């Protein structure tokens, strides 16, 4: 009998991970209660079975892949159902939440009898033609990494208990997305101060790899900016009020919030950024 | 007769630029009033002539290369002397100041009869074995770029008036030094949360060029961190209170301030960073 994996969260990442697991031989369920017909259609098109909460609790593995703000709510909602389940599996929280929030999730689920793991997904959603992101896991049973690898995921252990994988996600996203926020800020300032053409020429000569990274990652960010606001706030909370990095990531949240608003308005900031990136 | 260049500011950049100009065939003076015997010795060893304020005003070109906070004071102090000088040359403010401060410098010197230029130095001080930094100039007479190039400097024009070269310096330094501040913040957070080894492995695989940049630029920053505090504050002022980038660079100033304090204390943060960068 194939391994059954239930995914809570049917977003771009959750659906793509589900497809990858199906390719790896698994049966994949998705908790779709309250989701739109469009989401249901997309999930079914991916070969994933929409499922009710009671069926989710019968899975071998449960992955929580939801927006950061929903992670603790998911744990609270599923705790009684997991406690009631006769067979106990493994629950992995793959959300981009800070280690303290992850420890809250762990506490909420501690009495259910399930093995609870902290997970972090690093990289873009898997596609048929790429190796896919990496799945880091800390806490819980060490055997889980081999089980995930057997299902076709690039799985790695992070030494440490619940919180360690979330911390890795925070620091990696802080570097990766923070760099995009920094570039966004300075390229807009270049455009506003008439120094964009000189900046482009100077970067092309003295930091070509960074210019190429901006050209790739800044336009990629526009449609995701609204989601990154909460991620930056998670990083600020992770760093804590005594770290100057907390104020730094509060500011990053504002940077992405401006881009998110721009996407809902006339896209003026995005086209300014595109112009600077093209050397215009 | 060789071109005579007077440099105000005998720091690492000012002295190295002076040496490069001497190699290029110029006579170089340095305004050393009130400086230590050690500075005088270093200046003379570089072949630069210590000079009084009246002699500085007889030079063909004057370069102001001082800490940002001193730039306007230098302009105020030299304005009457430049006004009194019978022969009028070119004064270039090469300081890392924001465009508004640069416009203040321009106003202070406007009535002196000298050609006033806005300059920006991008890159590390020249050494005998490298091409040296780039010297960007805006405002003033367009011929200045060719004169600098004839003296062996890598000189470029920035389109625009006084303020444009300073703006370029702000945006470039914001990217270059901001990235170092971001890396410093997140590597310290990785060490504090037990995720440093995993972060190093992940970066080595998925962002090797950024890891290499951190390995080079973060330790290089430690002894300069105290100077970068004021530079980050200049960038915050440049961005202005309505830009979320202002709060971002206020936070960057705090990050470098912590490192500066650490350098004057036990160097614990620096050795933590060294450990993370080495994958320990």
Per CB-CB distance under 8 Å, the chain B contacts of A209 are 209
Contact across the interface for A123 and B197, Cβ inside 8 Å:
no
A42 confidence band (pLDDT: 50, 70, 90): confident
Q: What is the mean pLDDT of residues B106-111?
A: 97
Which of B248, B249, B262, B269 has the most A C-beta neighbours within 10 Å, making it the best mutation to test the interface with A?
B248
Judge: B164–A247 Cβ closer than 8 Å, yes or no. no
Q: B164-191 pLDDT, tens per residue?
A: 999 999 999 999 999 999 999 999 999 9
Residues of B in contact with A218 (CB under 8 A): none
- Test B189 with A206 for CB contact under 8 angstroms: no
Could you list the beta-strand ranges (E) of B44-169. Answer: 49-51, 61-64, 90-93, 115-122, 134-138, 154-157
Answer yes or no: do B185 and A243 touch at CB < 8 A.
yes
A63: helix, strand or coil: strand
The pLDDT of residue A59: 97
Q: Largest Cα–Cα distance in chain B?
A: 67
Show residues of chain A in contact with B213, CB under 8 Å: 210
**Chain A: nearest CA to B1, how far in angstroms?**
34
Taking contacts as CB-CB distances below 8 angstroms, the residues of chain A near B130 are none
With CA atoms as reference, report the closest residue to B68 among B227, B207, B261, B247.
Answer: B227
Over residues A201-242, the pLDDT tens digits come to 999 999 999 999 999 999 999 999 999 999 999 999 999 999
pLDDT computed for residue B63 by the predictor:
98
ipTM computed for the complex: 0.92
Q: Mark yes or no for CB contact B248/A248 under 8 Å.
A: yes
Picking from B168, B185, B198, the nearest residue to A199 by CB comes out as B168
Question: With pLDDT > 90 as the criterion, what percentage of chain B qualifies?
Answer: 88
Kind and range of the H or E run holding B30: strand B27-31
What is the b/e burial string over B263-280, where b = at least 16 CB atoms within 10 angstroms of the residue's CB? beeeeebbebbbebbeee
pLDDT attached to residue B2: 86
Closest among B45, B7, B55, B3 to B24, alpha carbons compared: B3
Asked if B209's CB is within 8 angstroms of A171's CB, the reply is no
> What pLDDT sits at residue A39?
86
Q: Taking CB atoms and an 8 Å limit, are A202 and B250 in contact across chains?
A: no
Q: Which two three-digit tokens encode residue A230?
A: 């909460």
Structure tokens at B147: 């004169």
**Mean pLDDT along residues A77-89:** 96
Residues in chain A with CB shorter than 8 Å from the CB of B164 are: 193-195, 198
The pLDDT, as a whole number, for residue A35 is 85
Average pLDDT over residues A147-167: 95
DSSP string spanning A115-179?
EEEEEEEESSPP-TTS---EEEEESS-TTHHHHHHHTT-EEEE-SSSTTHHHHHHHHHHHHHHHH
Question: Chain B: residue nearest A199 by CA?
Answer: B168
Please state which of the four CATH numbers 3.90.650.10, 3.40.1190.10, 3.40.50.720, 3.10.180.10 is assigned to the domain occupying A4-160.
Answer: 3.40.50.720
B217-246: per-residue pLDDT in tens? 999 999 999 999 999 999 999 999 999 999
Q: Tell me the percentage of chain B whose pLDDT exceeds 70.
A: 100
Query: So what's the pLDDT on residue B5?
Result: 97
Determine the residue among B123, B195, B211 to mutate to test chain A binding: the one whose Cβ has the most chain A Cβ atoms within 10 Å. B195
Q: Which of B171, B229, B231 should we substitute to test contact with A (largest number of A Cβ atoms within 10 Å)?
A: B171
If you measure CA to CA, which chain A residue comes closest to B252? A248
Range list of β-strands (E), chain A: 4-8, 27-31, 49-51, 61-64, 90-93, 115-122, 134-138, 154-157
Residue B89 main-chain phi, psi, to 5 deg: -115, -150
pLDDT over 80 at A1, yes or no: no
Which pLDDT score, from 0 to 100, does residue B138 have? 96
Contact A171 B203 (CB under 8 A): no
Q: Cα dist. A157→A95, A125, A150 in Å?
A: 16, 20, 14
Residue spans of the domains in chain A: they are: 4-160, 167-277
Does the pLDDT at position B102 exceed 90?
yes
User: Which of B194, B198, B247 is facing A247, going by the closest CB pair?
Assistant: B247
DSSP string, B214-274: HHHHHHHHGGGHHHHHHHHHHHHHHH-TTSHHHHHHHHHHHHHHHHHHHHHTT-HHHHHHH
Q: Burial, A14: exposed, middle or buried (Cβ in 10 Å; 0-12, 13-18, 19+)?
A: buried
Could you tell me which CATH number the domain at B4-162 has? 3.40.50.720
Q: Give the pLDDT confidence score for residue A175 in this predicted structure.
A: 98
Cβ of B164 within 8 Å of Cβ of A194? The answer is yes
Residue B1 has pLDDT above 80, yes or no: no
Average pLDDT, chain B: 95
């Amino acid at each position: 009998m194939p391994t059954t994996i239930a995914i809570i969260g049917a977003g771009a990442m959750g659906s793509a991970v589900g497809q990858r697991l199906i390719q790896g031989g698994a049966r994949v369920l998705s908790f779709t209660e309250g989701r739109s017909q469009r989401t249901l259609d997309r999930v079914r098109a991916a070969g994933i079975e929409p499922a009710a909460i009671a069926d989710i609790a019968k899975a071998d593995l449960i992955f929580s892949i939801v927006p950061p703000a929903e992670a603790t709510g998911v744990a609270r909602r599923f705790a009684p159902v997991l406690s009631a389940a006769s067979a106990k599996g493994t629950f992995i929280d793959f959300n981009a939440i800070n280690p303290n929030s992850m420890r809250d999730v762990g506490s909420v689920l501690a009495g259910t009898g399930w093995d609870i793991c902290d997970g972090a997904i690093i990289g873009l959603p898997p596609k048929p033609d790429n190796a896919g992101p990496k799945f880091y896991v800390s806490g819980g049973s060490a055997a889980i990494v081999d089980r995930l690898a057997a299902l076709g995921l690039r799985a790695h252990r992070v030494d440490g208990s619940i919180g360690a994988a979330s911390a890795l996600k925070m620091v990696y996203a802080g570097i990766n997305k923070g760099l995009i926020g920094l570039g966004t800020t300075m390229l807009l300032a270049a455009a506003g101060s008439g120094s964009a053409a000189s900046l482009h020429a100077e970067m092309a000569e003295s930091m070509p790899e960074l210019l190429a990274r901006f050209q790739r990652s800044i336009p990629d960010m526009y449609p995701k900016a609204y989601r990154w606001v909460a991620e930056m706030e998670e990083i600020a909370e992770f760093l804590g009020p005594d770290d100057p990095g907390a104020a730094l990531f509060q500011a990053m949240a504002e940077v992405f919030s401006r881009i998110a608003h721009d996407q809902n308005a006339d896209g003026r900031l995005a086209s300014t950024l595109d112009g600077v990136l093209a050397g215009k």
